[in-house]
Chains A and B, each alone.
Chain A
Protein backbone atom coordinates (compact mmCIF):
# COMPACT_ATOMS: atom_id res chain seq x y z
CA UNK A 1 0.00 0.00 0.00
CA UNK A 2 2.77 2.36 0.96
CA UNK A 3 4.48 1.63 -2.36
CA UNK A 4 1.26 2.37 -4.22
CA UNK A 5 0.93 5.76 -2.55
CA UNK A 6 4.48 6.66 -3.53
CA UNK A 7 3.74 5.61 -7.10
CA UNK A 8 0.53 7.65 -7.14
CA UNK A 9 2.39 10.71 -5.87
CA UNK A 10 4.96 10.19 -8.59
CA UNK A 11 2.26 9.87 -11.22
CA UNK A 12 0.70 13.10 -10.01
CA UNK A 13 4.08 14.77 -10.14
CA UNK A 14 4.63 13.76 -13.76
CA UNK A 15 1.02 14.52 -14.64
CA UNK A 16 1.26 18.02 -13.17
CA UNK A 17 4.67 18.61 -14.72
CA UNK A 18 3.21 17.76 -18.12
CA UNK A 19 0.62 20.52 -17.86
CA UNK A 20 3.37 23.05 -17.06
CA UNK A 21 4.89 23.11 -20.49
CA UNK A 22 8.54 24.09 -20.47
CA UNK A 23 9.15 27.55 -21.98
CA UNK A 24 12.25 26.24 -23.72
CA UNK A 25 12.80 24.65 -27.10
CA UNK A 26 12.28 20.88 -26.84
CA UNK A 27 13.70 17.88 -28.65
CA UNK A 28 12.41 17.62 -32.23
CA UNK A 29 11.08 21.22 -32.21
CA UNK A 30 13.74 22.60 -34.54
CA UNK A 31 15.03 21.25 -37.82
CA UNK A 32 18.59 20.42 -38.72
CA UNK A 33 20.17 22.41 -41.53
CA UNK A 34 20.54 20.36 -44.70
CA UNK A 35 23.88 18.59 -45.08
CA UNK A 36 26.54 20.15 -47.25
CA UNK A 37 27.33 18.23 -50.43
CA UNK A 38 30.34 18.74 -52.64
CA UNK A 39 31.53 16.95 -55.76
CA UNK A 40 34.92 17.01 -57.45
CA UNK A 41 32.95 17.45 -60.68
CA UNK A 42 29.34 16.84 -61.64
CA UNK A 43 30.19 15.57 -65.12
CA UNK A 44 31.72 12.10 -65.01
CA UNK A 45 34.67 11.38 -67.22
CA UNK A 46 35.89 8.31 -65.34
CA UNK A 47 34.67 8.97 -61.80
CA UNK A 48 33.86 11.80 -59.43
CA UNK A 49 34.12 12.07 -55.65
CA UNK A 50 31.12 13.22 -53.62
CA UNK A 51 31.41 14.30 -50.00
CA UNK A 52 28.72 15.32 -47.54
CA UNK A 53 28.84 16.75 -44.04
CA UNK A 54 26.90 18.40 -41.27
CA UNK A 55 29.60 18.92 -38.67
CA UNK A 56 27.69 18.27 -35.45
CA UNK A 57 27.99 15.65 -32.73
CA UNK A 58 25.35 12.92 -33.06
CA UNK A 59 24.41 13.67 -36.68
CA UNK A 60 23.95 10.76 -39.08
CA UNK A 61 23.65 11.31 -42.83
CA UNK A 62 21.81 8.84 -45.06
CA UNK A 63 21.73 8.95 -48.85
CA UNK A 64 20.19 7.49 -51.97
CA UNK A 65 21.39 7.56 -55.58
CA UNK A 66 18.10 6.86 -57.37
CA UNK A 67 16.36 10.13 -56.57
CA UNK A 68 14.23 8.71 -53.75
CA UNK A 69 13.94 10.42 -50.36
CA UNK A 70 16.58 9.09 -47.94
CA UNK A 71 15.42 7.56 -44.65
CA UNK A 72 17.26 5.97 -41.76
CA UNK A 73 17.07 2.66 -43.61
CA UNK A 74 18.88 4.10 -46.64
CA UNK A 75 22.62 3.77 -47.08
CA UNK A 76 24.52 5.53 -44.26
CA UNK A 77 27.09 8.07 -45.42
CA UNK A 78 30.41 7.24 -43.76
CA UNK A 79 33.09 8.54 -46.10
CA UNK A 80 33.56 10.10 -49.54
CA UNK A 81 31.69 8.37 -52.38
CA UNK A 82 33.53 7.53 -55.58
CA UNK A 83 30.90 7.62 -58.28
CA UNK A 84 31.11 6.49 -61.87
CA UNK A 85 27.39 6.20 -62.57
CA UNK A 86 25.06 9.01 -63.49
CA UNK A 87 22.47 9.64 -60.79
CA UNK A 88 20.51 11.92 -58.51
CA UNK A 89 22.20 11.72 -55.14
CA UNK A 90 20.13 12.80 -52.16
CA UNK A 91 21.44 13.34 -48.64
CA UNK A 92 19.48 13.85 -45.44
CA UNK A 93 20.68 14.41 -41.86
CA UNK A 94 19.20 12.87 -38.70
CA UNK A 95 19.84 13.54 -35.02
CA UNK A 96 18.10 12.39 -31.81
CA UNK A 97 17.49 15.98 -30.64
CA UNK A 98 16.54 17.72 -33.86
CA UNK A 99 14.04 17.18 -36.66
CA UNK A 100 15.49 15.54 -39.76
CA UNK A 101 16.85 17.98 -42.32
CA UNK A 102 15.50 18.75 -45.74
CA UNK A 103 17.17 16.91 -48.60
CA UNK A 104 20.34 18.09 -50.31
CA UNK A 105 20.42 16.94 -53.89
CA UNK A 106 23.29 16.59 -56.30
CA UNK A 107 23.01 15.42 -59.88
CA UNK A 108 25.93 13.91 -61.68
CA UNK A 109 25.98 13.40 -65.41
CA UNK A 110 27.88 11.21 -67.86
CA UNK A 111 30.16 13.25 -70.04
CA UNK A 112 28.46 13.85 -73.40
CA UNK A 113 29.53 14.00 -77.04
CA UNK A 114 31.30 17.16 -78.15
CA UNK A 115 29.55 18.66 -81.20
CA UNK A 116 31.55 19.67 -84.27
CA UNK A 117 30.26 23.22 -84.05
CA UNK A 118 27.55 25.47 -82.72
CA UNK A 119 26.01 28.15 -84.85
CA UNK A 120 24.35 30.76 -82.59
CA UNK A 121 21.27 32.48 -84.00
CA UNK A 122 20.68 34.61 -80.89
CA UNK A 123 23.21 36.03 -78.49
CA UNK A 124 23.71 35.70 -74.78
CA UNK A 125 23.30 38.93 -72.83
CA UNK A 126 26.54 40.92 -72.94
CA UNK A 127 26.81 40.90 -69.13
CA UNK A 128 26.62 37.10 -68.89
CA UNK A 129 28.44 35.67 -71.92
CA UNK A 130 29.97 32.81 -69.95
CA UNK A 131 33.36 31.85 -71.36
CA UNK A 132 32.36 32.31 -74.97
CA UNK A 133 30.43 30.40 -77.62
CA UNK A 134 31.40 26.93 -76.42
CA UNK A 135 30.58 27.42 -72.71
CA UNK A 136 27.47 25.25 -72.99
CA UNK A 137 29.38 22.28 -74.42
CA UNK A 138 32.66 22.55 -72.47
CA UNK A 139 31.85 19.64 -70.11
CA UNK A 140 31.86 22.02 -67.14
CA UNK A 141 28.90 22.57 -64.86
CA UNK A 142 28.43 25.78 -62.88
CA UNK A 143 27.99 26.50 -59.19
CA UNK A 144 24.82 27.94 -57.65
CA UNK A 145 26.15 31.48 -57.85
CA UNK A 146 24.88 33.12 -61.06
CA UNK A 147 28.13 35.07 -61.34
CA UNK A 148 29.98 31.81 -61.96
CA UNK A 149 31.47 32.17 -65.44
CA UNK A 150 30.14 28.78 -66.47
CA UNK A 151 26.69 30.35 -66.62
CA UNK A 152 25.43 31.84 -69.87
CA UNK A 153 22.58 34.28 -69.32
CA UNK A 154 19.83 35.12 -71.82
CA UNK A 155 16.93 37.52 -71.60
CA UNK A 156 15.47 36.45 -74.94
CA UNK A 157 14.73 33.24 -76.79
CA UNK A 158 17.80 31.06 -77.38
CA UNK A 159 18.35 29.68 -80.87
CA UNK A 160 21.32 27.67 -82.07
CA UNK A 161 22.12 24.99 -84.65
CA UNK A 162 24.37 22.26 -83.35
CA UNK A 163 26.30 20.13 -85.83
CA UNK A 164 27.69 16.63 -85.32
CA UNK A 165 29.88 14.25 -87.29
CA UNK A 166 27.83 12.16 -89.71
CA UNK A 167 25.79 9.35 -88.15
CA UNK A 168 26.37 10.30 -84.52
CA UNK A 169 23.83 8.44 -82.43
CA UNK A 170 22.35 10.71 -79.80
CA UNK A 171 20.07 9.32 -77.16
CA UNK A 172 19.18 12.56 -75.44
CA UNK A 173 20.01 16.18 -74.82
CA UNK A 174 20.08 17.45 -71.24
CA UNK A 175 19.84 21.19 -70.68
CA UNK A 176 21.20 22.30 -67.30
CA UNK A 177 19.79 25.53 -65.89
CA UNK A 178 19.70 27.66 -62.77
CA UNK A 179 16.68 28.65 -60.70
CA UNK A 180 17.32 31.70 -58.53
CA UNK A 181 13.98 33.41 -58.10
CA UNK A 182 15.35 36.28 -56.02
CA UNK A 183 17.70 37.17 -58.88
CA UNK A 184 14.87 36.91 -61.45
CA UNK A 185 16.37 33.71 -62.89
CA UNK A 186 13.66 31.20 -63.86
CA UNK A 187 13.55 27.86 -65.70
CA UNK A 188 13.08 27.82 -69.47
CA UNK A 189 9.43 27.82 -70.51
CA UNK A 190 9.77 25.52 -73.51
CA UNK A 191 12.71 23.62 -74.94
CA UNK A 192 12.23 22.40 -78.50
CA UNK A 193 14.66 20.57 -80.72
CA UNK A 194 14.37 20.00 -84.48
CA UNK A 195 16.27 16.84 -85.41
CA UNK A 196 17.99 16.79 -88.80
CA UNK A 197 15.65 19.62 -89.89
CA UNK A 198 12.66 17.28 -89.85
CA UNK A 199 11.32 15.96 -86.52
CA UNK A 200 10.50 18.27 -83.63
CA UNK A 201 10.56 17.22 -80.00
CA UNK A 202 9.59 19.47 -77.13
CA UNK A 203 9.63 19.64 -73.36
CA UNK A 204 8.35 22.00 -70.69
CA UNK A 205 9.74 22.48 -67.23
CA UNK A 206 7.96 22.84 -63.89
CA UNK A 207 7.48 26.40 -62.66
CA UNK A 208 8.93 27.24 -59.22
CA UNK A 209 6.15 27.24 -56.64
CA UNK A 210 7.99 28.70 -53.69
CA UNK A 211 8.88 32.32 -53.49
CA UNK A 212 12.50 31.65 -52.77
CA UNK A 213 14.14 28.91 -54.80
CA UNK A 214 17.85 28.54 -55.43
CA UNK A 215 18.62 25.30 -57.25
CA UNK A 216 20.36 23.62 -60.14
CA UNK A 217 17.96 21.75 -62.39
CA UNK A 218 17.80 20.19 -65.82
CA UNK A 219 15.42 19.07 -68.52
CA UNK A 220 16.14 16.01 -70.65
CA UNK A 221 14.73 15.45 -74.13
CA UNK A 222 14.92 12.05 -75.83
CA UNK A 223 16.36 12.09 -79.35
CA UNK A 224 17.24 8.40 -80.02
CA UNK A 225 18.40 8.95 -83.57
CA UNK A 226 21.47 9.30 -85.71
CA UNK A 227 21.96 12.99 -85.89
CA UNK A 228 23.82 15.46 -88.07
CA UNK A 229 22.19 18.63 -86.80
CA UNK A 230 19.96 19.74 -84.00
CA UNK A 231 18.19 23.09 -84.02
CA UNK A 232 17.72 24.02 -80.39
CA UNK A 233 15.19 26.64 -79.36
CA UNK A 234 14.75 27.53 -75.70
CA UNK A 235 12.42 30.26 -74.51
CA UNK A 236 12.90 32.17 -71.28
CA UNK A 237 9.98 32.82 -68.92
CA UNK A 238 8.00 35.58 -70.59
CA UNK A 239 6.17 36.81 -67.50
CA UNK A 240 7.25 36.53 -63.89
CA UNK A 241 4.41 35.16 -61.73
CA UNK A 242 2.00 37.16 -59.60
CA UNK A 243 3.91 36.60 -56.33
CA UNK A 244 7.23 37.88 -57.70
CA UNK A 245 8.52 41.44 -57.21
CA UNK A 246 8.90 41.70 -60.99
CA UNK A 247 5.49 40.25 -61.86
CA UNK A 248 4.59 40.51 -65.54
CA UNK A 249 8.17 41.26 -66.58
CA UNK A 250 10.45 38.79 -68.35
CA UNK A 251 12.80 36.51 -66.46
CA UNK A 252 16.44 35.63 -67.02
CA UNK A 253 17.40 32.23 -68.35
CA UNK A 254 20.78 30.92 -67.15
CA UNK A 255 22.20 27.68 -68.59
CA UNK A 256 25.52 26.03 -67.86
CA UNK A 257 25.62 22.97 -70.08
CA UNK A 258 23.99 21.07 -72.91
CA UNK A 259 24.89 17.41 -72.61
CA UNK A 260 24.47 15.19 -75.69
CA UNK A 261 24.54 11.49 -74.82
Chain B
Protein backbone atom coordinates (compact mmCIF):
# COMPACT_ATOMS: atom_id res chain seq x y z
CA UNK B 1 0.00 0.00 0.00
CA UNK B 2 1.60 3.20 -1.24
CA UNK B 3 0.11 5.24 1.58
CA UNK B 4 2.47 3.61 4.03
CA UNK B 5 5.26 5.72 2.66
CA UNK B 6 3.17 8.88 2.83
CA UNK B 7 5.20 11.50 4.72
CA UNK B 8 2.55 12.17 7.37
CA UNK B 9 2.36 8.51 8.08
CA UNK B 10 6.08 8.31 8.62
CA UNK B 11 5.82 11.28 10.95
CA UNK B 12 3.05 9.55 12.86
CA UNK B 13 5.20 6.46 12.92
CA UNK B 14 8.12 8.36 14.38
CA UNK B 15 5.77 9.45 17.16
CA UNK B 16 4.83 5.91 17.96
CA UNK B 17 8.54 5.12 18.02
CA UNK B 18 9.13 7.23 21.11
CA UNK B 19 7.37 5.43 23.88
CA UNK B 20 6.81 5.96 27.56
CA UNK B 21 9.74 4.31 29.25
CA UNK B 22 9.15 1.77 31.99
CA UNK B 23 11.50 1.48 34.98
CA UNK B 24 11.63 -1.20 37.65
CA UNK B 25 11.42 -4.96 37.61
CA UNK B 26 9.03 -7.87 38.09
CA UNK B 27 5.77 -6.89 39.78
CA UNK B 28 6.78 -3.27 40.45
CA UNK B 29 7.19 -1.28 37.23
CA UNK B 30 6.56 2.40 36.66
CA UNK B 31 6.30 5.22 34.15
CA UNK B 32 8.17 8.33 35.23
CA UNK B 33 6.67 11.82 35.50
CA UNK B 34 9.44 14.37 35.99
CA UNK B 35 7.01 17.29 35.79
CA UNK B 36 4.82 16.35 38.74
CA UNK B 37 4.55 18.96 41.48
CA UNK B 38 6.65 21.62 39.74
CA UNK B 39 5.98 24.97 41.39
CA UNK B 40 7.11 28.54 40.96
CA UNK B 41 10.42 28.43 42.79
CA UNK B 42 10.23 32.13 43.62
CA UNK B 43 6.92 31.67 45.44
CA UNK B 44 7.17 28.13 46.78
CA UNK B 45 10.84 27.10 46.84
CA UNK B 46 12.42 23.88 48.07
CA UNK B 47 15.97 23.10 49.17
CA UNK B 48 16.33 19.44 49.97
CA UNK B 49 13.07 17.54 49.61
CA UNK B 50 13.55 15.27 52.62
CA UNK B 51 10.40 13.25 53.19
CA UNK B 52 6.80 12.77 52.07
CA UNK B 53 3.64 11.15 53.46
CA UNK B 54 0.03 10.84 52.33
CA UNK B 55 -2.49 12.11 54.89
CA UNK B 56 -5.96 10.74 55.66
CA UNK B 57 -7.53 13.05 53.10
CA UNK B 58 -5.31 11.55 50.40
CA UNK B 59 -3.13 14.66 50.15
CA UNK B 60 0.63 14.42 49.56
CA UNK B 61 2.61 16.19 52.28
CA UNK B 62 6.23 17.16 51.51
CA UNK B 63 8.82 18.28 54.08
CA UNK B 64 11.71 20.48 52.90
CA UNK B 65 14.38 22.37 54.83
CA UNK B 66 13.48 25.63 53.04
CA UNK B 67 12.20 27.93 55.78
CA UNK B 68 9.94 29.89 53.44
CA UNK B 69 7.63 26.86 53.44
CA UNK B 70 8.81 23.79 55.29
CA UNK B 71 5.65 21.86 54.46
CA UNK B 72 4.13 21.80 50.98
CA UNK B 73 0.82 19.99 50.51
CA UNK B 74 -0.21 18.75 47.07
CA UNK B 75 -3.07 16.75 45.68
CA UNK B 76 -2.14 13.56 43.86
CA UNK B 77 -2.06 15.34 40.51
CA UNK B 78 0.67 17.66 41.80
CA UNK B 79 -1.49 20.75 42.28
CA UNK B 80 -0.44 22.92 45.21
CA UNK B 81 -3.03 22.99 48.01
CA UNK B 82 -1.29 24.78 50.87
CA UNK B 83 2.04 25.47 52.56
CA UNK B 84 3.09 26.17 56.12
CA UNK B 85 6.16 26.16 58.37
CA UNK B 86 9.02 28.67 58.61
CA UNK B 87 10.79 27.47 61.73
CA UNK B 88 12.35 24.15 60.75
CA UNK B 89 15.81 24.83 59.26
CA UNK B 90 16.83 21.19 59.68
CA UNK B 91 13.45 19.66 58.78
CA UNK B 92 14.28 16.05 57.98
CA UNK B 93 11.93 13.32 59.24
CA UNK B 94 8.19 13.36 58.58
CA UNK B 95 5.81 10.79 60.03
CA UNK B 96 2.03 10.76 59.93
CA UNK B 97 0.35 10.01 63.27
CA UNK B 98 -3.34 9.11 63.31
CA UNK B 99 -5.02 9.60 66.70
CA UNK B 100 -8.77 8.86 66.92
CA UNK B 101 -9.31 9.88 63.33
CA UNK B 102 -7.21 13.05 63.49
CA UNK B 103 -3.92 13.49 61.62
CA UNK B 104 -0.80 14.80 63.32
CA UNK B 105 2.80 15.02 62.12
CA UNK B 106 6.08 14.20 63.82
CA UNK B 107 8.92 16.27 62.42
CA UNK B 108 12.57 15.75 63.31
CA UNK B 109 14.83 18.79 62.96
CA UNK B 110 18.55 18.00 63.11
CA UNK B 111 19.51 21.68 63.30
CA UNK B 112 17.16 22.45 66.17
CA UNK B 113 18.10 19.06 67.68
CA UNK B 114 14.43 18.45 68.40
CA UNK B 115 11.36 16.43 67.56
CA UNK B 116 8.24 18.47 67.00
CA UNK B 117 4.68 17.17 66.96
CA UNK B 118 2.26 19.35 64.99
CA UNK B 119 -1.30 19.24 63.80
CA UNK B 120 -1.71 18.58 60.08
CA UNK B 121 -2.02 22.33 59.51
CA UNK B 122 1.13 23.20 61.46
CA UNK B 123 0.14 24.06 65.03
CA UNK B 124 2.78 22.82 67.47
CA UNK B 125 1.49 20.20 69.94
CA UNK B 126 4.77 19.52 71.70
CA UNK B 127 8.51 19.86 71.28
CA UNK B 128 11.02 17.30 72.55
CA UNK B 129 14.61 18.24 73.35
CA UNK B 130 17.68 16.04 73.38
CA UNK B 131 17.50 13.21 75.94
CA UNK B 132 19.93 14.57 78.52
CA UNK B 133 18.52 12.23 81.21
CA UNK B 134 20.10 9.24 79.45
CA UNK B 135 23.60 10.51 80.17
CA UNK B 136 24.56 9.65 76.59
CA UNK B 137 24.58 13.25 75.40
CA UNK B 138 26.60 16.08 76.88
CA UNK B 139 25.28 18.84 74.60
CA UNK B 140 22.14 19.23 72.53
CA UNK B 141 24.29 19.54 69.38
CA UNK B 142 25.18 15.84 69.66
CA UNK B 143 21.54 14.94 69.04
CA UNK B 144 20.57 15.05 65.35
CA UNK B 145 17.36 13.06 64.96
CA UNK B 146 16.50 11.92 61.45
CA UNK B 147 13.33 9.85 61.81
CA UNK B 148 10.41 8.77 63.98
CA UNK B 149 7.90 5.96 63.88
CA UNK B 150 4.69 5.44 65.85
CA UNK B 151 3.32 2.13 67.11
CA UNK B 152 -0.28 1.17 67.83
CA UNK B 153 -0.44 2.21 71.50
CA UNK B 154 0.86 5.67 70.63
CA UNK B 155 4.44 5.05 71.74
CA UNK B 156 6.97 6.37 69.29
CA UNK B 157 10.64 5.77 68.47
CA UNK B 158 13.25 8.27 67.31
CA UNK B 159 16.38 7.44 65.31
CA UNK B 160 19.34 9.75 66.00
CA UNK B 161 20.78 9.03 62.57
CA UNK B 162 23.02 12.08 62.17
CA UNK B 163 23.96 12.13 65.84
CA UNK B 164 25.09 9.37 68.18
CA UNK B 165 23.08 6.61 66.49
CA UNK B 166 20.83 5.82 69.45
CA UNK B 167 17.23 4.70 69.09
CA UNK B 168 14.94 6.32 71.65
CA UNK B 169 11.60 4.91 72.78
CA UNK B 170 8.99 7.35 74.12
CA UNK B 171 5.39 6.96 75.25
CA UNK B 172 2.70 9.06 73.57
CA UNK B 173 3.26 11.89 76.03
CA UNK B 174 6.93 12.11 75.07
CA UNK B 175 8.33 10.46 78.22
CA UNK B 176 11.47 8.43 77.56
CA UNK B 177 11.06 4.68 78.16
CA UNK B 178 14.17 3.13 76.61
CA UNK B 179 17.34 3.81 74.64
CA UNK B 180 19.30 1.33 72.52
CA UNK B 181 21.58 1.14 69.48
CA UNK B 182 24.53 3.52 69.35
CA UNK B 183 27.41 4.00 66.94
CA UNK B 184 29.33 1.02 65.58
CA UNK B 185 29.31 -1.91 63.23
CA UNK B 186 28.07 -4.56 65.66
CA UNK B 187 24.66 -6.21 65.32
CA UNK B 188 23.03 -3.83 67.78
CA UNK B 189 24.73 -0.75 66.39
CA UNK B 190 24.42 1.63 63.47
CA UNK B 191 26.35 3.84 61.12
CA UNK B 192 23.80 6.39 60.01
CA UNK B 193 20.59 5.05 61.57
CA UNK B 194 18.78 7.14 59.02
CA UNK B 195 15.30 5.70 59.11
CA UNK B 196 13.01 3.66 61.33
CA UNK B 197 9.60 2.14 60.77
CA UNK B 198 7.08 0.03 62.62
CA UNK B 199 6.58 -3.31 60.88
CA UNK B 200 3.25 -4.90 61.78
CA UNK B 201 2.87 -6.99 58.63
CA UNK B 202 3.11 -9.98 60.94
CA UNK B 203 0.38 -8.99 63.40
CA UNK B 204 1.55 -11.58 65.96
CA UNK B 205 5.14 -10.31 66.00
CA UNK B 206 5.32 -6.59 65.32
CA UNK B 207 8.87 -5.21 65.23
CA UNK B 208 11.01 -2.24 64.19
CA UNK B 209 12.94 -1.93 60.94
CA UNK B 210 15.89 0.46 61.14
CA UNK B 211 18.26 1.36 58.31
CA UNK B 212 22.02 1.50 58.86
CA UNK B 213 22.64 3.49 55.71
CA UNK B 214 26.44 3.53 55.62
CA UNK B 215 26.51 -0.21 56.27
CA UNK B 216 24.02 -0.94 53.43
CA UNK B 217 21.92 -2.83 55.96
CA UNK B 218 18.39 -2.98 57.26
CA UNK B 219 18.16 -4.20 60.86
CA UNK B 220 15.20 -5.61 62.71
CA UNK B 221 14.70 -5.01 66.43
CA UNK B 222 11.94 -5.98 68.84
CA UNK B 223 9.82 -3.21 70.28
CA UNK B 224 11.87 -3.65 73.48
CA UNK B 225 15.07 -2.91 71.58
CA UNK B 226 16.44 -6.44 71.16
CA UNK B 227 18.36 -7.13 67.97
CA UNK B 228 16.61 -9.71 65.77
CA UNK B 229 18.18 -9.79 62.31
CA UNK B 230 20.14 -7.97 59.61
CA UNK B 231 19.06 -7.81 55.98
CA UNK B 232 21.93 -6.90 53.64
CA UNK B 233 21.39 -4.68 50.62
CA UNK B 234 24.89 -4.57 49.08
CA UNK B 235 25.67 -1.34 47.27
CA UNK B 236 22.53 0.49 48.40
CA UNK B 237 22.62 3.41 50.84
CA UNK B 238 19.04 2.98 51.95
CA UNK B 239 17.11 5.80 53.57
CA UNK B 240 14.04 5.01 55.69
CA UNK B 241 11.96 1.87 55.15
CA UNK B 242 8.40 2.69 54.06
CA UNK B 243 5.90 -0.11 54.46
CA UNK B 244 2.92 -0.08 52.10
CA UNK B 245 0.64 -3.11 52.25
CA UNK B 246 3.01 -6.13 52.26
CA UNK B 247 6.01 -4.47 50.63
CA UNK B 248 8.84 -2.23 51.86
CA UNK B 249 9.97 0.69 49.73
CA UNK B 250 13.21 2.64 50.07
CA UNK B 251 14.79 5.66 48.51
CA UNK B 252 18.46 4.81 47.96
CA UNK B 253 20.59 7.93 48.36
CA UNK B 254 23.44 6.64 46.22
CA UNK B 255 25.22 3.55 44.95
CA UNK B 256 28.11 2.64 47.21
CA UNK B 257 30.74 2.05 44.54
CA UNK B 258 29.68 4.52 41.88
CA UNK B 259 32.12 7.18 40.74
CA UNK B 260 29.45 9.85 41.00
CA UNK B 261 27.63 10.80 44.17
CA UNK B 262 24.25 11.37 42.52
CA UNK B 263 23.83 7.69 41.78
CA UNK B 264 20.65 6.96 43.70
CA UNK B 265 17.70 4.73 42.88
CA UNK B 266 14.60 3.11 44.40
CA UNK B 267 14.50 -0.30 46.08
CA UNK B 268 11.46 -2.47 46.78
CA UNK B 269 11.26 -5.59 48.97
CA UNK B 270 8.41 -8.07 49.09
CA UNK B 271 6.76 -9.57 52.18
CA UNK B 272 9.72 -11.94 52.61
CA UNK B 273 12.10 -8.98 52.62
CA UNK B 274 13.58 -10.04 49.27
CA UNK B 275 14.49 -7.26 46.86
CA UNK B 276 12.15 -7.58 43.87
CA UNK B 277 12.49 -4.31 41.98
CA UNK B 278 15.02 -1.47 41.73
CA UNK B 279 13.73 1.36 39.52
CA UNK B 280 16.77 3.15 38.11
CA UNK B 281 19.21 0.38 39.01
CA UNK B 282 20.32 -3.17 38.29
CA UNK B 283 17.68 -5.89 38.38
CA UNK B 284 17.93 -7.61 41.77
CA UNK B 285 19.37 -11.10 41.63
CA UNK B 286 20.34 -13.57 44.31
CA UNK B 287 23.23 -16.03 44.15
CA UNK B 288 23.19 -18.66 46.90
CA UNK B 289 20.75 -16.50 48.86
CA UNK B 290 23.09 -13.51 48.65
CA UNK B 291 21.89 -10.39 46.90
CA UNK B 292 24.32 -9.22 44.21
CA UNK B 293 25.60 -5.66 44.51
CA UNK B 294 23.01 -3.15 43.32
CA UNK B 295 23.95 0.02 41.47
CA UNK B 296 22.44 2.80 39.40
CA UNK B 297 22.17 2.01 35.68
CA UNK B 298 20.36 5.10 34.39
CA UNK B 299 20.81 8.72 35.40
CA UNK B 300 17.17 9.22 36.27
CA UNK B 301 17.44 9.96 39.98
CA UNK B 302 20.12 12.02 41.70
CA UNK B 303 19.88 11.59 45.47
CA UNK B 304 16.50 10.05 46.35
CA UNK B 305 15.83 10.60 50.04
CA UNK B 306 12.32 9.29 50.64
CA UNK B 307 9.42 7.63 48.90
CA UNK B 308 5.68 7.83 49.51
CA UNK B 309 3.26 5.31 48.03
CA UNK B 310 -0.28 6.58 47.59
CA UNK B 311 -3.59 4.71 47.63
CA UNK B 312 -3.33 4.21 43.84
CA UNK B 313 0.01 2.37 44.26
CA UNK B 314 1.86 5.28 42.64
CA UNK B 315 5.09 6.51 44.15
CA UNK B 316 6.50 9.96 44.92
CA UNK B 317 10.26 10.40 45.23
CA UNK B 318 11.70 13.28 47.29
CA UNK B 319 15.35 14.06 46.61
CA UNK B 320 18.16 15.55 48.70
CA UNK B 321 20.81 17.81 47.11
CA UNK B 322 19.37 17.56 43.63
CA UNK B 323 19.34 21.16 42.46
CA UNK B 324 16.21 22.27 44.38
CA UNK B 325 14.02 20.04 42.22
CA UNK B 326 10.48 19.06 43.19
CA UNK B 327 9.49 15.42 43.75
CA UNK B 328 9.24 12.89 40.92
CA UNK B 329 6.09 10.79 40.50
CA UNK B 330 6.26 7.16 39.37
CA UNK B 331 3.02 5.74 37.94
CA UNK B 332 2.63 2.03 38.57
CA UNK B 333 1.94 0.06 35.38
- Interfacial residues, chain A to chain B (CB-CB below 8 A): 7, 10-11, 14-15, 17-18, 22-34, 36, 54-57, 59, 97-98, 144, 214
User: Please, could you name 11 A-B residue pairs with CB atoms under 8 Å apart, sorted by A?
Assistant: A14-B16, A15-B12, A24-B20, A25-B31, A26-B19, A26-B20, A29-B21, A30-B299, A33-B258, A33-B296, A36-B295
Interface of A is mostly: loop
B279-300 contact mask (Cβ, 8 Å, vs A): 1 or 0: 0001100000000100111111
Cβ B32 vs Cβ A33 within 8 A = no
Interface of B is mostly: loop
Chain A hits for B300, CB < 8 A = 25, 30
Classify chain B: how many residues form its interface, as a range.
Answer: 35 or more
Q: Which residue of B lies closest to A11 (CB)?
A: B8
The B1-17 residues at the A interface (CB cut-off 8 A) are 3, 6, 8-9, 11-13, 15-17
Cβ A214 vs Cβ B259 within 8 A = yes
Query: B277 contacts the other chain (Cβ, under 8 Å)?
Result: no
- Interfacial residues, chain B to chain A (CB-CB below 8 A): 3, 6, 8-9, 11-13, 15-21, 31-36, 257-260, 263, 282-283, 292, 295-300, 331
Cβ-closest 8 pairs across A and B: A14-B12, A25-B32, A24-B20, A24-B31, A55-B282, A56-B297, A26-B18, A18-B15
Chain B hits for A36, CB < 8 A = 257, 295
B300 shortest CB reach to chain A, Å = 5
A21 shortest CB reach to chain B, Å = 10
Cβ B283 vs Cβ A27 within 8 A = no
Chain A hits for B299, CB < 8 A = 30-33
Cβ B33 vs Cβ A33 within 8 A = no
Query: Knowing A15-B12, A17-B15, A56-B282 touch, does A30 contact B295 (C-beta < 8 A)?
Result: no
Q: Bound state CA distance, A33 and B282, in angstroms?
A: 11
Cβ A24 vs Cβ B21 within 8 A = yes
Q: Bound state CA distance, A240 and B33, in angstroms?
A: 40
Chain B hits for A56, CB < 8 A = 282-283, 297-298
Cβ A34 vs Cβ B259 within 8 A = yes
Chain B hits for A144, CB < 8 A = 259
Q: Which residue of A lies closest to B285 (CB)?
A: A55
Q: Which residue of A lies closest to B22 (CB)?
A: A97
Chain B hits for A214, CB < 8 A = 259-260
Chain A hits for B257, CB < 8 A = 36
Chain B hits for A14, CB < 8 A = 8-9, 11-13, 15-16
Cβ A28 vs Cβ B18 within 8 A = yes
Chain A hits for B331, CB < 8 A = 24
Query: Knowing A30-B21, A57-B283 touch, does A23 contact B297 (C-beta < 8 A)?
Result: no
Chain A hits for B34, CB < 8 A = 25
B125 shortest CB reach to chain A, Å = 38
Query: Knowing A25-B21, A26-B20, A56-B283 touch, does A31 contact B259 (C-beta < 8 A)?
Result: no
Q: Bound state CA distance, A25 and B22, in angstroms?
A: 8
Q: Which residue of A lies closest to B282 (CB)?
A: A55
A28 shortest CB reach to chain B, Å = 7
Chain B hits for A24, CB < 8 A = 20-21, 31-33, 331
